[in-house]
Amino acid sequence: MLLRLHQIDKFYPTGEGPLHVLRGIDLSLEAGKSLALTGESGSGKSTLLHLVAGLDSPDAGEIHLGGTNIVGLNDTALAALRRGTVGLVFQQFNLIPSLDVAANLAFQARLAGRPDPAWLKVLAKRLGLAQVLTRYPEQLSSGQQQRVAIGRTLAARPRLVLADEPTGNLDEATGDAVLDLMLSLVAETGAALLMVTHSNRLANRLNARVHLHAGRLV
């Protein structure tokens, strides 16, 4: 099992007292499989994704990634985990505005110490970015920006891809095209995919789906 979550609880402090966002979540995902995480706004989907990515820590429970419980790891170890094991795709793309497309695509792989120019070339071609490698993010369309973000994630060949509403900022046609590309490339790399989405239509295209409601899996 690549990913296993056990009895995860998460609270956020608010003016009216702690808000219980996730309640006793148990979840697992095998290598090479894809799982859709659906739920209404505020149900805790993104929070769960951030906990798996090591961006935040749970208040209770365990998160086992590749056999290691990442809960309690220090900042440096979590940063290494994000560099080497996990790949993140955000709804807002979150590209690095000061770097051009080529540098953005290669950034995470080089940071992880796994630069692979041949694979990058393949990615750029498959993602339709070969003609815009010297452009900067602000000079790209939304669809192009999201394709760069996917390419950046996959360039490092992560074992787990975490995608948070990756097509949420795109129109339906562009979103479908981008998702097709992402699914086929993830499959090619053999990575597992955990994707947060509002859309039942998109969720149905993945191997499995779970639904979050008021912080619980239903």
Partner 1 sequence: MVWIGLTALLSYWRRRPVQLAMLLLGLSLATALWSAVQAINGEARASYDRAAAILGQDRLAQLVREDGARMDQQEFVRLRRAGWLASPVIEGEMRFGDVRLRVLGIDPLTLPPQAQQVDIAAGDELLPFITAPGVLYAAPETAARLTEQATPPVRVAEGLPPGTVVTDIGQAQVLLGAKHKISRLLLWPDQPIGRAPLKVTAPGLTLREPSETGDLARLTDSFHLNLTAFGFLAFAVGLFIVHSAIGLAFEQRRQVFRTLRALGLPARVLVLLLIAELLTFALLAGLVGVALGYVVASALLPDVAATLRGLYGADVPGTLSIRPEVWAAGLAIAVIGTLVAAAQSLWRLWHLPLLAAAQPRAWARTSERALGAQGVAAMVLLLTAAGIAHFGSGLEAGFALLAALLLGAALALPLVLTGILHLGGRLARGPLAEWFWADTRQQLPGLSLALMALLLALAANVGVSTMVSSFRLTFTGWLDQRLASELYVTARTEAEATAIRDWLAQRSDAVLPIWSIEGRVAGQPAAIYGVADHATYRDNWPILSAVPEVWDRIATGDGALINEQLARRQELGLGDQITLPGGWRASIVGVYADYGNPIGQVIIGIDTLVQHYPDVSRLRYAIRIAPGKAESLAAGLRAEFGLPAQNVIDQAGIKVFSLKVFERTFNVTAALNVLTLGVAGLAMFASVMTLSGMRLPQLAPVWAIGLTRRHLAWLELSRGLLLAALTMLAALPVGIALAFVLLAVVNVEAFGWRLPMHLFPGDLARLAALALLAVGLAAAVPAWRLAHLSPSDLLKVFAHER
Strand partners, 89: 163
Nearer to partner 1, 143 or 215 (CB): 215
Contact of 215 with 181, CB cutoff 8 Å: no
Contact of 124 with 151, CB cutoff 8 Å: yes
| Min separation Cβ 169 and partner 1, Å | 9
| Min separation Cβ 97 and partner 1, Å | 6
| Min separation Cβ 192 and partner 1, Å | 18
User: What residues line the site for partner 1 (CB under 8 A)?
Assistant: 12, 21, 41-42, 44-47, 50, 53, 55-57, 75-76, 78-84, 88, 90-92, 94-99, 103, 106-108, 110-112, 152, 164-165, 168
Contact of 151 with 108, CB cutoff 8 Å: no
Nearer to partner 1, 19 or 130 (CB): 19
Nearer to partner 1, 33 or 168 (CB): 168
Distance CA 133, CA 102 (A): 5
Distance CA 148, CA 106 (A): 10
| Contacts made by residues 75-78, CB under 8 angstroms, sequence distance 24+ | 78/54
| Min separation Cβ 137 and partner 1, Å | 11
- In angstroms, what CA-CA distances link 58 with 35, 47, 71, 216? 21, 9, 7, 14
Nearer to partner 1, 143 or 152 (CB): 152
| Min separation Cβ 130 and partner 1, Å | 21
Alpha-carbon torsion, ordered 140, 202, 183, 35, to 10 deg: 130
| Min separation Cβ 168 and partner 1, Å | 7
Nearer to partner 1, 33 or 80 (CB): 80
Structure tokens at 167: 């097509």
Structure tokens at 78: 């979590």
Nearer to partner 1, 40 or 188 (CB): 40
